[in-house]
């Protein structure tokens, strides 16, 4: 199956046109993969973007936003309190054990759990008045020493342990593979994550989420079964440069 990506780093146009372009790509990828249009959710990755940009995409109908940096996310939440009832916050960056309470209290999803200690602290610190925290386990499918994530061989033990924790709901797996050139090369790590996902479900876990694929490789991720694609640059344009 040959599905090419039309993405280029130049994300021209206004927010509405960029959003339309991404949804068009998602629909086309789903169609060519034989999946329904609603099989894949769009997670708008708003890290380093101002709160005003989140508000703009919210006004365009988007409801799911992903942040990498805890404090930055908390600051944006404080700027957008009126959106909280209809906005779902996803933490997709590494989480330090001394920051778990803030994440457990403020976020709806955490995609980046890669150690049992982190999961245990999130479980203990999730307020009992809130619905369970939705979590994914981050897997280091590329074996990069610079990347967070549980090694694939350690995933089953971690997954079963996390699934047993109270006030958490283990939804699935997440990965951030090394960049690859070419559609088939992009598919390979996503295929690996899907195989791990299928194995865990065969072992009795009821997982339904594969968080994989970004601006440059979302078509490859959709073909391999992604249920969330995490898109930043194609929606918001290049990240603002730090002064």
Using the structure block, give the residue that is written with the tokens 């997954």. 159
- Alpha-carbon distance 138 to 193, whole Å? 10
**Amino acid 241: pLDDT:** 60
- Alpha-carbon distance 144 to 38, whole Å? 32
153 within some domain: yes
Q: What is the pLDDT of residues 45-94, one digit of tens each?
A: 999 999 999 999 999 999 999 999 999 999 999 999 999 999 999 999 99
- Which domain, by its residues, includes 34? 15-233
Q: What is the pLDDT of residues 10-40, one digit of tens each?
A: 345 699 999 999 999 999 999 999 999 999 9
9 within some domain: no
Residue 111 scores a pLDDT above 50: yes
**Amino acid 74: pLDDT:** 98
**Amino acid 8: pLDDT:** 41
CATH of the domain at 76: 3.20.20.10
pTM listed for this prediction: 0.93
Q: What is the pLDDT of residues 167-214, one digit of tens each?
A: 999 999 999 999 999 999 999 999 999 999 999 999 999 999 999 999
3 within some domain: no
**Amino acid 238: pLDDT:** 79
Residue 5 scores a pLDDT above 60: no
70 within some domain: yes
8 within some domain: no
Residue 6 scores a pLDDT above 60: no
6 within some domain: no
Tokens matching residue 194 = 């899907």
- The predicted model gives 118-139 an average pLDDT of 98
Evaluate whether 57 touches 234 at the Cβ level (below 8 Å). Answer: no
155 within some domain: yes
Q: How many domains in the chain?
A: 1
**Amino acid 13: pLDDT:** 66
CA 54 to chain centre: 16
130 within some domain: yes
């Amino acid at each position: 199956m040959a599905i090419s990506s039309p993405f280029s780093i130049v994300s021209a146009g206004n927010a509405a046109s960029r959003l339309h372009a991404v949804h068009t790509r998602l629909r086309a990828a789903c169609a060519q993969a034989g999946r329904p249009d609603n099989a894949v959710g769009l997670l708008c990755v708003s890290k380093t973007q101002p709160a005003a940009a989140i508000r703009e995409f919210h006004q365009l109908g988007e409801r799911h936003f992903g942040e990498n940096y805890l404090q930055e996310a908390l600051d944006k939440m404080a700027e957008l309190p009126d959106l909280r009832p209809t906005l779902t916050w996803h933490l997709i960056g590494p989480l330090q054990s001394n920051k778990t309470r803030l994440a457990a209290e403020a976020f709806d999803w955490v995609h980046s759990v890669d150690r049992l200690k982190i999961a245990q602290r999130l479980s203990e610190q999730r307020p009992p008045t809130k619905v369970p925290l939705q979590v994914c386990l981050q897997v280091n499918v590329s074996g990069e020493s610079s990347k967070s994530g549980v090694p694939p061989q350690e995933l089953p033990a971690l997954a079963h342990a996390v699934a047993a924790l109270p006030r958490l709901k283990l939804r699935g797996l997440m990965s951030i593979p090394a960049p690859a050139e070419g559609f088939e090369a992009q598919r390979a790590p996503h295929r690996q994550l899907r195989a791990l996902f299928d194995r865990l479900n065969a072992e009795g876990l009821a997982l339904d989420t594969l968080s994989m694929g970004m601006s440059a490789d979302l078509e490859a991720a959709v073909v391999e079964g992604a249920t969330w694609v995490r898109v930043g640059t194609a929606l918001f344009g290049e990240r603002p440069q730090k002064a």
